[in-house]
Chains A and B, each alone.
Chain A
Amino acid sequence: MLSKRIIPCLDIRNGQTVKGVNFVNIREVGDPVELGRRYSEQGADELVFLDITATHEGRKTFVELVKRIAFNLNIPFTVGGGISELKDADALLAAGADKISINSSAIKNPQLIDDLVRYFGSQFVVVAIDAREENNHWEATMHGGRIRTGKELFSWAREVENRGAGEILFTSMNHDGTKNGFANEALAHLAGMLTIPLIASGGAGTMEHFADLFINGKADAGLAASIFHFGEIAIPDLKHYLRNAGINVR
């Protein structure tokens, strides 16, 4: 049986991991390759590395880092941040990335999704959607939630799927950093309408939140950062907990 995936996410700035709480305050937490390897040994199912540098020099550092990660890691990993054209994706593929994640660039130029899928295959293309709810209306946002896009979450998710993306990574900006649980209602709606896998992000605080995510939010994978980085939840304990809750995990 296909298992539910647990995915630690590492934000990278200038080749080092950081975690932005609510995407604002940034703290250093260590070497990405070492952290990645530790997570792999602990049973993480995949990893996500997001480059938040977004400068030209930072990009080059990131591609070099992706090579080191690929050489040292034996589980799948996704890289994201600053990918706005095919050649960015091509450099990351050549470095050994399994998947890329695009966000703002897909909103600005939705055709980019089709182009990436045509050149690299849908399995390579994850589209991240950061959305915020206001008065029962979910709107996709850009740049860490600072910019509104006018795109309604569910119709945008449908469009992303129709353009051929292989997975959707949904982050609720209302829940991100709160540690009060995932946006299960919106997630269940997305999971029900999509035929591609759904990764949920934003709000993980306890092991119970992950059980709720898989049972009520119907997501295929759960992503989190600080609770793993700061050792608040150990992945082996989380897997054990989920198994006892009747959820199929590796």
Chain B
Amino acid sequence: MKVAIIKYNAGNIQSVDYALRRLGAEASVTADHDEIRSADRVIFPGVGEASTTMDYLRSHRLDQLITELKQPVLGICLGLQLMCRHSEEGDVACLGIFEETVKKFVLQHDQLPSMKIPHMGWNTITGLKTNLFDNVPEGEYFYFVHSFYATSGADTAASCSYPAPFSAALQKDNFYAVQFHPEKSGTAGSKILENFLQLKINQ
């Protein structure tokens, strides 16, 4: 099983690579179009800023490449946000794979204890859909770090609340995405990556 991890100007991609290798997958971090197209699975990771990252993807023609992929694709964190229609972060049009849009968390001072931004730490997810969550119980904890979130909509495959509901996961056709970091979410996170590797193509 060959997994291509899309390389771009993002933060800690190394951890995704390590997590896949722990599962026995042959992972490579690459920006090579042919290598990405021919991989069995593609992971679109990322930590960074939306508008500069979209600029980077466009200048390397990765935007078109990603939307045309036919194999299972998994977006992680910023990857999920960039797969949406639009992001408030830098007011930028994104890849438009998912209908949902990305908004900034707004501080709500009536929250007790007071709400902090970024949404950082372990939170529960519910309303689990798709085979990505096979053998993952409702209410399981995953590790999140983000200041922007994808709205809930038709593609929502899991929800989280902070304090209002948002999309913890999205899915449409062969495109999957999670807002949390499966590579940093202990055994539950490993299960998500394992499920992703086992997804049936054209399911």
Contacts and interface: CB of A to CB of B under 8 A. Distances in A.
Interface of A: 1-3, 5, 40, 45, 70-71, 74-76, 93-98, 120-124, 166-167, 191-192, 194-198, 218, 220-221, 250
A70 to B, nearest CB: 6
B131 interface: no
A70 B14 contact: yes
Contact of A120 (B11, B18, B123): B11
Contact of A2 (B11, B18, B147, B162): B162
Nearest to A122: B118
A74 B181 CA distance: 10
B195 interface: no
B116 A194 contact: yes
Given A98-B184, A123-B145, A70 B161 contact: no
Given A5-B121, A196-B116, A121 B189 contact: no
Nearest to A77: B184
B24 interface: no
Chain B contact residues: helix, strand, loop or mixed: mixed
Contact of A3 (B12, B22, B122, B185): B122
Given A121-B49, A220-B121, A74 B186 contact: yes
B14 A191 contact: no
B123 A3 contact: yes
Contact of A70 (B15, B118, B124): B15
A176 to B, nearest CB: 24
Contact of A123 (B18, B114, B118, B185): B118
A95 B123 CA distance: 27
5 contacts: A2-B121, A74-B186, A75-B143, A93-B12, A197-B118
A234 B78 CA distance: 35
Given A3-B123, A123-B118, A220-B120, 16 more contacts: A2-B123, A2-B162, A5-B122, A70-B14, A70-B15, A71-B21, A74-B185, A76-B145, A98-B15, A123-B47, A195-B107, A196-B116, A197-B120, A218-B113, A250-B122, A250-B141
Nearest to B189: A74
Contacts of B184: 74-76, 98
Interface string B16-45: 001101100000000000000000000000
A97 B18 CA distance: 12
Interface in B156-202: 161-162, 181, 183-187, 189-190
B190 A220 contact: no
A124 B161 CA distance: 23
B48 A121 contact: yes
Interface of B: 11-12, 14-15, 18-19, 21-22, 47-49, 107, 113-124, 141, 143, 145-147, 161-162, 181, 183-187, 189-190
Contacts, number: 96
Chain A contact surface mostly: loop
A191 B113 contact: yes
B118 A74 contact: no
A221 B113 CA distance: 13
Contacts of B124: 1
Contacts of A195: 107, 114-117
B190 A45 contact: no
A61 B48 CA distance: 28
A45 B12 contact: no
A37 to B, nearest CB: 11
Nearest to B140: A250
Nearest to A71: B18
Contact of B187 (A74, A97, A197, A220): A74
Given A2-B162, A74-B186, A95-B14, A167 B120 contact: yes
A98 B123 contact: no
Contacts of A221: 121
In the A-B complex, list the 5 residue pairs whose CB atoms are closest, starting with the nearest.
A96-B14, A250-B141, A250-B122, A123-B145, A197-B116
A120 B49 CA distance: 10
A84 to B, nearest CB: 21
Contact of B114 (A3, A70, A120, A192): A192
Residue of B118, B123, B146, B185 with most chain A CB atoms under a 10 A cut-off: B118
